[in-house]
Chain A
Amino acid sequence: MLFKEILLPALLETLYMVAISTIFAMILGFISAVVLIISKPKGLRPNLLIYKSLNLIINILRSFPFIILMISIFPLTKIIVGTTIGTNAAIVPLTLGAAPFAARIIESALLEVDYGIIEAAKSFGAKNHQIIFKVMVKEAMPSIVLGVTLTIINIIGYSAMAGTIGGGGLGDVAVKYGYYRFKTDIMIYTVIILIVVVQITQALGNLLHRKMVK
């Protein structure tokens, strides 16, 4: 009963929020990381203005504690989703909160690629986009996979916070039942479920990473 009526729907909500925001955050993060890599001094096409502005935006977004970020972008959320309450509404701050994090993670994975390999690709006449996608992203993929795993786990954590101010999901349940109504058992269940979800995510990430580096 308890599981079917309260915990399962909450879990599904959490998974939904996390999944959608991970996808959006990865897309935004990936684009930003690639732009950073290309435009950085000594990058493939250095552009200090773009590099510095993007850097600043990412740093600013990363300085926000998530809960503050969520509240302060309510107006934006309203424009995009039409409401500030509910799972869909939570996806906007989750995405914006995780994208800068993802950007940094992917950026550092791309920076790790041995410069010699990039130079070799250049020497064979590769175009910039070929160097980025066929060499850098390809080489950095195992690190990116670990980064995505990290991002997902981060988003799971954020989603619990989003739950407390109307986002739904497991965080919502934990606060509503566990905190306001002193139902310790429900609190414990949600924590256990979250632990399991995080464990599975990390295990999958590690497995994929190991497969890639063999």
Chain B
Amino acid sequence: MIKVCGVSKSFSKVKVLEDVSFTVDKGDIYGVIGHSGAGKSTLLRCFNGLETYDTGTINIMGKEVKELTSKELREFRKNVGIIFQSFNLINRKNVFENIAFPLEIWGKDKSFIKERVDSLIDLVGLKDKVNSDVRQLSGGQKQRVGIARALALNPKILLCDEATSALDPKTTKSILELLRDINNKFNITIIVVTHQMEVVKEICNKFILLEGGEIRSQGTTDELFVRPTKEMKTLIGEEELLPDTGYNIKIFFSKEISQKCLITSIARELNIDFSIVWGRLEKFRDNVMGSLIINASEENKGKILNYLDEKSIGWEVII
């Protein structure tokens, strides 16, 4: 669907993107995560030609974005909807007119527009706000209008540029749910650019981590949360404070073992003592995932590791 290959870009002398490559498949919700200034928005804006890139290729649905003429680019943009952090709605148009705007641009007739906009308003749950002034809407409602507008032309891809960064956690969640619904219902590929870890965790199936314009981490989201890489930990701001004595063993909890009384069974079955010194368990969609670090004495180390291996549970000794 989208194939990014060796993309680099610099603004005058500053490198914003460096040799970025990844592939997005149809139906993916793909996360691009990183700190502000990591180049993630720039990357996203290259996808619909709002920005250009210096080298490399971005191939979307068989077309090289850079090579499109301005007329082709306009045509191409019909297939790529976008929503923004600041919503970017036209303040002097009401909800209906905002959503109708892309359709008007493409010269659709009135009855078609009415039908399409009504169904979109239904989809995003703003039925009672059809004629409201957009200035009177809350942030979440504005983003719903933004989503409806982005979907008006029936795009195959939806780009989200920090779409939830201006919203509170609860509203963020409802917007993310809406995006997931849309992804399920219409099989639209969604690219999510964000600095919020929760967003990736909540809806993305794959992700890349950008830092200083380079990809530092890349993979599926489940993996990421069970075994975060060093870069991910920096981003989350997580550092483990562990005791200096004994051995620290990190046990990875996947969704299968999180409910299997693992810790208590180690203690009972091996008849040993150990302390839990660090842990991170998180709700991941509808499952629990994460890791626990236990501290055990040297003599028990072998037993524990054997036990974990027997049950084929992931572990790592931290020194």
Q: A117 contacts B92, CB within 8 Å?
A: no
Q: How far is the CA of A125 from the CA of B74 in the complex (A)?
A: 4
Q: B90 contacts A135, CB within 8 Å?
A: yes
Q: How far is the CA of A106 from the CA of B141 in the complex (A)?
A: 32
Q: Does A126 contact B (CB under 8 A)?
A: yes
Q: Which residues of A contact B105 (CB under 8 A)?
A: 121, 124-127, 130, 134
Separation in Å of the B129 CB from the closest CB of chain A? 15
Chain A residues 86-137 with CB under 8 Å of chain B are 114, 116-117, 119-127, 130, 134-135
Contact of A124 among B86, B89, B101 (CB under 8 A): B101
Separation in Å of the A169 CB from the closest CB of chain B? 37
Separation in Å of the B166 CB from the closest CB of chain A? 12
With most chain A CB atoms within 10 A of its CB, the pick from B73, B82, B92, B106 is B92
Contact of A125 among B84, B90, B106, B149 (CB under 8 A): B106
Q: How far is the CA of A122 from the CA of B75 in the complex (A)?
A: 11
Q: How far is the CA of A116 from the CA of B50 in the complex (A)?
A: 11
Q: Which residues of A contact B81 (CB under 8 A)?
A: 123-124
Chain A residues 131-161 with CB under 8 Å of chain B are 134-135, 138-139, 141-142
Q: B88 contacts A125, CB within 8 Å?
A: no
Q: Does B78 contact A (CB under 8 A)?
A: yes
Contact with A along B131-161 (1 / 0, CB 8 A): 0010100000000000001001100000000
Q: A114 contacts B102, CB within 8 Å?
A: no
| Known A122-B50, A123-B48, A124-B153: A116·B101 in contact at CB below 8 Å | no
Q: A124 contacts B91, CB within 8 Å?
A: no
Q: Count contacts between A and B, CB distance < 8 Å.
A: 66
Q: B90 contacts A117, CB within 8 Å?
A: yes
Interface footprint category on A: 20 to 34
Q: How far is the CA of A55 from the CA of B93 in the complex (A)?
A: 32
Interface footprint category on B: 20 to 34
Q: B82 contacts A120, CB within 8 Å?
A: yes
Separation in Å of the B276 CB from the closest CB of chain A? 48
Q: A138 contacts B92, CB within 8 Å?
A: yes
Chain B residues 20-74 with CB under 8 Å of chain A are 48, 50, 73-74
Q: Does A181 contact B (CB under 8 A)?
A: no
Q: Which residues of B contact A135 (CB under 8 A)?
A: 90
Q: Does A214 contact B (CB under 8 A)?
A: yes
| Known A119-B88, A120-B84: A125·B133 in contact at CB below 8 Å | no
| Known A123-B48, A127-B74: A138·B102 in contact at CB below 8 Å | no
Q: Which residues on B are within 8 Å of A, measured CB to CB? A: 48, 50, 73-78, 80-82, 84, 86, 88-93, 101-102, 104-106, 133, 135, 149, 152-153
22 pairs, A vs B, C-beta closer than 8 Å: A114-B88, A116-B84, A117-B90, A119-B84, A119-B88, A120-B82, A120-B89, A122-B77, A123-B50, A124-B77, A124-B78, A124-B101, A124-B102, A124-B152, A125-B78, A125-B105, A125-B106, A126-B102, A138-B90, A138-B92, A139-B90, A214-B133
Q: Which residues on A are within 8 Å of B, measured CB to CB? A: 114, 116-117, 119-127, 130, 134-135, 138-139, 141-142, 212, 214
